[in-house]
Structure 1
Amino acid sequence: MPQDAKIVRWREWDGPGSEHLVLREHAGRLLADSVVIRSGETQFAVRYRIACDAGWRAESVIVNVIGDDRTLVLASDGDGQWTRDGLAMPELAGVLDPDLTVTPFTNTLPIRRLALAAGQSAEITTAFIEFPALTVVRNPQRYTCLEAGRRYLYESRASDFRRELEIDAEGLVVDYPDFWRRG
């Protein structure tokens, strides 16, 4: 394992599912490479790779559902223009962040990119990827920094869903109540 790599593991809040993520920083870019095993009613495993620039803006998202021939390939210019498998996705115009429902890692991207001070909040829209269907839709959200470097409030602006996230000093989720915890 290269010295510049960080390994993070999460486990499902109430189940045997887990995630193993390797985060590398190299030449001004960030690369997250992960495998997620989901339990529960719909069981599946996913491998994903997300590449970001130094400002935590997503450049690419590649997702494979293990045991399935489908692969999702999203690319972004960092300014809100996306393609899926090489075809333009005008419905994602202005979106900067992907949000994969299978992982708490994608919360880190807006947390790091926005760098909010305690008491500040920001409304964003994400490219929300649903599993195992691999559908991609716009999803309006809000992040509020409750305690810098420690706690954020995540809220969906499309529903009443909200969770208080505990994060570490690097903006990586420690606890996402009812879903994931560092393991």
Structure 2
Amino acid sequence: MSPIFAELPATAAWAHESVRSGFEVVYFSRSGNGFRAAGMTTAVEDGRTWSVDYDITLDETWATRRALVTGRSAAGVRTALLESDGEGRWFVDGEPAPRLDGCFDVDLEASAMTNAFPVHRLKLAPAARSAAPAAYVRALDLTVDRLEQEYTRTTDGEQRYAYAAPAFAFACELSYDDSGLVVSYPGIATRVV
């Protein structure tokens, strides 16, 4: 049975853990037939400080249509604008980005929240698996790359998914709440509100 998610809360927050210390806060609202996620995350990682502001618009299928990302660090302020036609074609700062063809989600290195997008969009039944390549935005320099990743819903009926990102040799089990937001992202973040 595919998941049916509860309404999103007005706000949510996560504490970073292990690889960095810091905090993420997001505010959700409706945007036409879709959603808007506006938030900020700040961290100290390897002795460096950074912050990332984001304003992400999703369509009614939960595909990312626009993401304005602003990063601040000791190196200065950077901005990246990612736009998608909703059919898997992207523009980064107004330029075509064919390396991202076939991606429907944006995944911010700075954010635990963006792992909600593919789970909502895919609506996987228990034991179902799907690739979910994403337009991946790095925290420090806002570099945009393609990130191959995979989600497999567990068979226990709970909102848990085996997650894998082979490029980072990373795999874990993500737990979600009834609204489809990450509660536990082992080694990365824990939901606090």
Q: How high is the TM-score relative to the length of structure 1? A: 0.92
Q: CA deviation at 1:35?
A: 0.7
* 1:1-183 mapped onto 2 (5 Å cutoff): 6-14=10-18, 16-41=21-46, 42-66=48-72, 68-146=76-154, 147-183=156-192
Counterpart amino acid of residue 56 in structure 1: W
Aligned equivalents of 1:5 and 1:139: distance in 2?
28
On the 8 A contact 2:31/2:57 being kept in 1, the answer is no
Partner SS state of residue 55, structure 1: coil
On the 8 A contact 2:109/2:138 being kept in 1, the answer is yes
Aligned equivalents of 2:143 and 2:96: distance in 1?
15
**1:4-54 Cα shifts (integer Å, max 9, x gaps):** 861001001246400110011243120000010112312111101110001
On the 8 A contact 1:116/1:148 being kept in 2, the answer is no
Which range moves more in the overlay, 70-79 or 8-17? 8-17
Closer, same or farther: CA 148–128 of 1 in aligned 2, 3 Å: farther
On the 8 A contact 2:56/2:64 being kept in 1, the answer is yes
Unaligned runs of 5+ in 2: 1-7
Which range moves more in the overlay, 146-155 or 55-64? 146-155
Counterpart amino acid of residue 57 in structure 2: A
* Cα RMSD for the two superposed structures: 1.6
Find the counterpart in structure 1 of residue 4 from structure 2. Answer: none
Q: CA deviation at 1:157?
A: 3.2
Counterpart amino acid of residue 181 in structure 1: T
Identical counterparts, % of pairs: 31
Q: How high is the TM-score relative to the length of structure 2? A: 0.87
Closer, same or farther: CA 159–17 of 1 in aligned 2, 3 Å: closer
On the 8 A contact 1:10/1:19 being kept in 2, the answer is yes
Q: CA deviation at 1:170?
A: 1.3
Aligned equivalents of 1:106 and 1:145: distance in 2?
17
Aligned equivalents of 2:167 and 2:159: distance in 1?
25
Query: Aligned pairs, how many?
Result: 180
On the 8 A contact 2:78/2:141 being kept in 1, the answer is no
